[in-house]
Structure 1
């Protein structure tokens, strides 16, 4: 099978079926008949692709379209638990997985900036004196940094941390409407803050305090911020380079996928906030606290790779408009 010719011949049919599926609640009588006819036609196309082609991407795309069309034709409203499960096993992880290159690049740039600034601050008394007075720096190193995590009740502290971190992530995603241009500046500011504090703490011989308090929650927290920045910048890049799709369609699809990322990241940051409030200031040995943070990070990455790769191979994109609100009744 000549896949390119096949796609060119039937692309309009698939696009029309997708439009009808998305408008399934507002279809007229003739449009319902058209939906049924196109569903049958595209089902045939899927069978042809599966039998005569090894293109798994095209097969996954048509399989998803046929499944949603079948649900629209013969289904009933999906229960809330089904939509909830689909979000956490498909919509959110596939967005994170498909953005892994942007995600990794953001992380590398962040730590590079933080390291350079940390070395600069820690090795230059002139820079330190320009930042603050010796008394204020001493108070930060020996009191403020550690007391930040324990001076408030755990419940209120967790809420405050969650709101603050969610705000950072929301900025990254919200700035996508400006082609993602301000996002590097938001990431840079956070990297610079970490570099300054890290440089001062390590220079004062407090590296154990620094990493003992930051690592438990910081791994997952920073990962969420990196992901938020990644999907926001990726949305901006979609406007510049939409690929083989019309720019408006590509922007709409990626924009709806970003919605899935925003909701999912709120949950990830909630977990990070709970770790920061309950584990970071706890009397547990440092290696246990760090172990909990590493386990949380490893669990999240494994979750994204497992479910994200599976959904990506099935042709999912994380576009919330693709999520079926109907399930087959058999």
Structure 2
């Protein structure tokens, strides 16, 4: 791949930070943006301001763009649909429009929330049917990106986790709650593929370097409930798994409907990369090493 100057939009987030590390290890010149979490060497970029997005591309003219930034708080999106669509859908449209103008390759991150969760896990050809504002906004973004850029790479992922004290990803929630000795109610009827963020970033860069386009699921190999994942995390951190209390999703009275039987299939990913998706056991071993190195 000839591209050398790349932009990570959302570089201060969990996925953006991991992507930056991997891209820099491959000798790419990485420019990063942030929305609300300033970081050294990063540029503030408001995705809802099309003129600001245009000006950024004029200045940087990246050969490739990884769009990780999004409004991902599912219940917040449900109560603020206009904001969710402005950031997730209109923001993606602005980026795709400028990427097309400058001939930039676009890698866009999506979610299994584009499905209703009635019969997952889903492959790339399954018919989307989102049940939440968040899922609808991401599906709208997918469609817009594919309309504007025929060679865009859309990566669907789910239950992304990693060791990052400033992050609120599920692994960190489990760590902080259980370390404080607090019980944590976790859904036993929501299923997905836990995906280590480092693995997501590594697979993303490999697919980008191969010139892959279209939709690809990039998730961990194993499908399990959030409650079972929470207990597995507790063991990794040497905490009491009994503090993870399995409950029905309905008991949590969450504002937005969740795709219960979600998750994504990995056969296409394995075929493209020539290796199987990362098993949870391996992902947890890597997480444990990161945790031990930081405490």
Range into which the TM-score falls when normalised by the shorter chain = under 0.3
- Higher RCO (Cα < 8 Å, 6 or more apart): 1
TM-score under structure 2 length normalisation: 0.22
TM-score under structure 1 length normalisation: 0.20
Higher relative helix content: 1
Higher relative strand content: 2
Higher Cα radius of gyration: 1
